[in-house]
Structure 1
Amino acid sequence: MRLPAFLALSATTVAAVGVAAVLVLRQPETAAVTGSGELLFPALVGAANQINEIRIQKGSETTTIVRGDQAWSIRERGDYPASKEKIKQLVVELAQLRRLEAKTDNPERYASIGVEDVGANAGSTAVTVTDAQGQPLAKLLLGETPTTGATTDTHFVRIPGEPRAWLAEGALSAEPAVATWIDQTVIDLPADQLAEVKVTRPDGKTLTAVKADAAAPHFALRELPRNRHLKSEDALDGMAIALTQLQLQDLVMANQIDFPAASSSHARFRTFDGLIVDVELVQHDGKDWIRLSAAAVPGATAATVAKAEDLNRSTRGYAYNVYTWKVAPLLRSLDELTDAGSGS
């Protein structure tokens, strides 16, 4: 069964695409060139639900978004799920692109506006949209954005194989970076659901933030020595929010990142309803990477078991490059969290 027709454009969008051509001011030397004011891809609106693949390439970086039976995925990231909302936005933007002003047809000048054929050292971004048979529904070389004189979103563009470059009107976001096209939220585990966060460092030392019950305003430190006190009552809150709206910067297959015991830390998050989320953390090439797994404590409800299964299903086999500021609180030492003295 094919994907539901979620790419079908709304009546408002179709109306916007089909509105009469805007008044175009033409330079004298290009006024005779036909096509000014026309949509670049007039058939794309009706063909939106035939789209099977979208490929975006700039230099040596390529992102291929592929349509499956139930979801879209990123080929270069082990078929990790892609954001259907971002895909829909790209299709709508392509469908609304309009030729505004004819530009050069001299290949020697293509590079000056970024519409040369895509290649390792080229400034252009190639966007190719194809159907299930591999037939192109839209092909575009996206160049530079004019820095002066533009009152609306405009871009230099060229259709591959055509000599004429154009100044096109319309918003268009076609970044080749993989992270642009996926749901960047890895996990969202609210801090108020947590009963415990236990971090084990590579040297075996542990720090555990605990709450007696959900009503407690802050976390206590289980390993707090008698001669020390927390620097502030919310000193451990950063540990608790590490998995709240955790966003990724990039992801790879988990076997591409090594998590050696000698340099990896481990954090275990346990919720009041019995969900356990294990997080391994390591630095690789100056970036913070994690991998996740989940389980439910014995006797947990069916809903909690389902949460663990869903999390494992979506994250198993992947390693995530996450923002340092988000996971840094998990790696704070006892000295960073506490001061000398009982605090009484």
Structure 2
Amino acid sequence: MRTRSLAVLAVVALGLAALAGWGLLQRAGEAPATSGEALPGFADRIQTLERVEVRGAGDSLLVSLVRRGQAWEVEQHPGWPANQREISRALFRLGEARRVEAKTDNPALHARLGVEDIGQADAKGAELRFEGGGDTLGLVVGRNHPGLGGSYVRVIGENASWLIDADLSPARDPVAWLDRRLLDLPLARTERVRIEPASGRAFSLERDGEAFVVRGAREGGTLDAEATATAAVPEQLALDGLAKDEGEPASRRHVYETVDGLRLEIASWQDEAGTWARLSLDLDEDVAAAWYGQAGEDAEPAAERLARLREQVREWQGRFQGRKFLLPSHKAANLLKSRADYLAPG
């Protein structure tokens, strides 16, 4: 009888110990039950923000956005326009984001969600820091939920972590916050492309109806699609990166000439990052005036069209000055072709 009683007591004791252990684990994972805004008070301060930072491991500054009047500027690339629409959308998404599930308030478990202290050298998350309109606000954004979507977050200064209903993972590359539009020179305006390799024979691609051909090639001897793709490089040309122009020697030059007197030069070279280019633009006003003079009586006056084109050239040249641009690979590939690449076999 005594043996049986001891056995029963042992089972009860083990059960109580298991319950106690489970309770401790639950308390370690508990967070306040209050739901609401992902970052309380943020929505009311969007219009008064003056600075936004993205910070990474070791509290390193990755991206800083500064409000200049009514527009944002990426501090790492002063003078180049930021993507105002996407920045506004990102701020609006955060203002609308809501907490949907409380997670752990135990700092020892924060790393599992990617919301550990951003000052740690191996921190996986990113901190969004906001200044302006009141005290500085900060939100650590960690991993996304693999099934439900949404991000794990933690407000700076609090232990509680949350799953919210929006993906707030911020871009860590300053270029991602820029207006990536470099220029847009429609193919319909391009008349000729002069190509000058650093070594080898210079040649031209010239318009032939809707396509382009190699000047001097036999009739039908040009791969029209290849030549036309090169002529279309400046159309909706975007950038994948930009930096200060250090004067690197170019390995080739492409000079695009338009029917209305524009001359766009793209001098390009390659390094481990990809294909870089420096751009310059000028205008032959005599050619432009002659072109506009062919328009009908109902067209806008040639002087007004010329003034607008002159201003566009000035604006573009101001943006290009002193900078080099990393080109998207699908555009850059067309600048790497030799004359033989445009010629049909035989």
Q: What range describes the TM-score normalised by the shorter chain of this pair? A: 0.7 to 0.9
Write out per-residue CA displacement over residues 286-329 of structure 1, whole angstroms, 9 at most, x where no aligned residue.
41111211111132322221121111122322211112221222
Q: Which residue of 1 aligns with 2:17?
A: none
Please tell me whether residue 116 in structure 1 is matched to residue 116 in structure 2.
Answer: yes
Asked if 2 retains the 8 angstrom alpha-carbon contact of 1:294 and 1:312, the reply is yes
1:52: which partner in 2? 50
- Match in the other structure for 1:278: 265
> In the superposition, relative to structure 1, how do residues 281 and 32 fare at CA in structure 2: closer, same or farther (>3 Å)?
closer
State the shift of 1:42 in Å.
4.1
Per the alignment, residue 189 of structure 2 pairs with: 193
Shift of 1:273: 0.9
Aligned residue for 1:235, secondary structure, equals: helix
Aligned CA distance change for structure 1 residues 33 and 124 (closer, same or farther; 3 Å): closer
After superposition, the C-alpha distances for 1:126-166 in whole angstroms (9 at most, x for unaligned) are 11111178x42x31000011213x2xx42111112211111
Tell me the distance in 1 between the aligned counterparts of 2:166 and 2:131: 21
Matches within 5 A, 1:282-293: 282-293=269-280
SS in 2 for 1:199: strand
Kept in 1, the 8 Å contact 2:63–2:76? The answer is yes
| 1:174 Cα offset (Å) | 1.4
Query: CA separation in 2, counterparts of 1:259 and 1:83?
Result: 28
- Residue 166 of structure 2 corresponds to 170
Please show how residues 82-231 of structure 1 align to structure 2 within 5 Å.
82-119=82-119, 120-131=121-132, 135-136=135-136, 138-148=137-147, 150=148, 153-203=149-199, 205-211=201-207, 216-224=209-217, 230-231=221-222
Query: Identity across aligned pairs (percent)?
Result: 24
Q: From 307, 318, 328, give the equivalent of 2:323.
A: 318
| Equivalent position of 1:330 in the other structure | 335
Whole-Å Cα distance in 2 between the matches of residues 145 and 128 of structure 1?
19
Q: 1:80: how far off?
A: 2.2
- Cα distance in 1 for partners of 2:109, 2:79 equals 38
CA-CA distance at 1:230 after TM superposition: 2.7
Query: Where does structure 1 lack aligned partners over 5 or more consecutive residues?
Result: 1-27
Question: 1:121 deviation in Å?
Answer: 2.3
Equivalent residue pairs, number:
301
User: By how many angstroms is 1:35 displaced?
Assistant: 5.0
Give the letter aligned to residue 221 of structure 1: V
Secondary structure of 1:292's counterpart equals strand
How far apart, in 2, do the equivalents of 1:159 and 1:264 lie?
A: 51
Q: 1: distance between equivalents of 2:330 and 2:30?
A: 56
C-alpha distance in 2 between matches for 1:88 and 1:286:
30
Task: Quote the residue 1:24 is aligned against.
Answer: none
- Structure 1 residue corresponding to 2:248, chosen from 229, 234, 259: 259
**For 2:311 and 2:46, how far apart are their aligned partners in 1?**
34
Q: Within 2, Cα distance between the matches of 1:298 and 1:146?
A: 58
Q: What's the offset of the Cα at 1:220? A: 2.5
Say which one has the larger Rg.
2
Once the two structures are TM-superposed, the CA of residue 235 in structure 1 deviates from its matched residue by 3.3
Q: Using the alignment, how far apart are the partners of 1:112 and 1:329 within structure 2?
A: 46
Letter paired with 1:49:
Q
| 2: CA distance, partners of 1:219 / 1:80 | 33
SS in 2 for 1:80: coil
User: Which is worse superposed, 299-308 or 109-118?
Assistant: 299-308
Confirm or deny: 8 A CA contact 1:36 1:100 kept in the other structure: no
| Deviation digits for residues 263-286 of structure 1 (CA, Å, limit 9, x no counterpart) | 521111111111111111011224
* Partner Cα separation in structure 1 for residue 70 and residue 323 of structure 2: 20
What TM-score do you get using the length of structure 2 for normalisation?
0.79
Aligned ranges 1:3-18 → 2 under 5 Å:
none
Which ranges in structure 2 are unaligned for 5 or more consecutive residues? 1-25, 289-305
Q: 1:43: which partner in 2?
A: 41
Distance 2:240 2:282 in 1: 25
Q: What is the TM-score when the length of structure 1 is the normalising length?
A: 0.79
| 1:326 partner amino acid | K
In the aligned structure 2, how far is the partner of 1:173 from the partner of 1:155? 7
Amino acid of the residue matched to residue 259 of structure 1? Answer: E
Between Structure 1 and Structure 2, which shows a larger proportion of helix residues?
2
CA distance in 2, matches of 1:124, 1:330: 39
8 Å CA contact retained: 1:36, 1:101: no
For 1:167 and 1:289, the matched residues in 2 are separated by 41
Q: Using a 3 Å threshold, how does the CA distance of structure 1 residues 210 and 166 change in structure 2: closer, same or farther?
A: same
